[in-house]
């Protein structure tokens, strides 16, 4: 459950974007997510990020949504941020090797 007050962003693209963001969190964690906004778009998503409910900023009232319980543990929950960190380290090491070889070729050409 996320709650926000986005009155600063009335009428802008920020309110729908903020209401859609819990879909990403729902998929990452494998848990449903509900975003209740006091002055903007409100939303609810299931464990796969599928929209269960969406109320725009103009909606006045209440809505009841049946939110399913989480039943699985995602790979992201098991491994956390180690996957992207490891990917960036491997990419950085590969780039360093590439630069080193490129500079070695340039210096070989300059020596001849």
Share of the chain above pLDDT 70, in %: 88
Quote the pLDDT of residue 102.
87
* Greater pLDDT, 26 or 89: 89
**Residue from 39, 30, 29, 32 nearest 9 by CA:** 39
Do residues 22 and 43 touch, judged by C-beta distance below 8 A?
yes
- The number of C-alpha atoms within 13 Å of 14 and in the hemisphere containing its C-beta is 11
What's the CA gap between 26 and 46, in Å, rounded?
7
pTM: predicted TM-score of the whole model, two decimal places: 0.66
Banded pLDDT at 36 (limits 50, 70, 90) = confident
Spacing of C-alpha 51 from chain mean position? 15
Token pair listed for 65: 């949504």
Encode pLDDT of 55-95 as tens digits.
Answer: 988 888 888 999 888 777 888 888 888 888 999 999 999 99
Domains of the chain, by residue range, sit at: 2-75, 81-112
């Amino acid at each position: 459950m996320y709650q926000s007050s986005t009155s600063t962003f009335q009428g802008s693209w920020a309110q729908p974007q903020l209401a859609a963001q819990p879909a990403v969190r729902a998929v990452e964690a494998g848990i449903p997510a509900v975003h209740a906004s006091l002055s903007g778009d409100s939303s609810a998503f299931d464990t796969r990020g599928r929209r269960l409910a969406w109320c725009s900023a103009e909606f006045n009232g209440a809505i009841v949504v049946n939110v399913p319980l989480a039943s699985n543990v995602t790979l992201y929950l098991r491994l956390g941020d180690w996957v992207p960190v490891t990917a960036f380290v491997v990419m950085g090491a590969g780039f360093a090797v590439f630069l080193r070889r490129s500079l070695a070729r340039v210096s070989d050409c300059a020596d001849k």
